[in-house]
Amino acid sequence: MKNWFSATYGPSGAHLIALARHSDEVLSTFLAMAGREDLMVAIKLAAAEQAVEELLEAVRQLSGDEPSDTII
């Protein structure tokens, strides 16, 4: 890894994939360098939608409402 930081050698494709799988910062930087910032926006939007769904479910549980398939 020290060779990566010193720019002597870069990570292999497999290593880069593993890094991106575990690091949002690596994924974001990779997509930006590839000119695909739109994909990072889509990833963030999907995460936000999931968070809203989880929040709504928690509110429903607190209020004693049954979950529904109705989308607000």
DSSP string computed for 16-53:
HHHHHHH-HHHHHHHHHHTT-HHHHHHHHHHHHHHHHH
59: three-class secondary structure by DSSP: helix
- pLDDT, mean of residues 21-30: 91
Structure tokens at 19: 């890094």
- Per-residue pLDDT at 67 exceeds 90: no
Question: Which structural domain, as residue segments, surrounds residue 26?
Answer: 1-35
| Terminal alpha carbon distance of the chain | 48
- Residues 30, 46, single domain; the answer is no
Q: What is the pLDDT of residue 66?
A: 64
* The pLDDT value given to residue 1: 65
Number of domains in the chain: 2
For the stretch 34-62, what's the b/e string if a residue is b when 16 or more beta carbons lie within 10 angstroms of its beta carbon?
A: eeeeeebeeeeeeeeeeeeeeeeeeeeee
Per the model's pLDDT, the better-predicted residue between 70 and 31 turns out to be 31
**Are 42 and 65 in the same domain?**
yes
In this model, does residue 21 exceed pLDDT 80?
A: yes
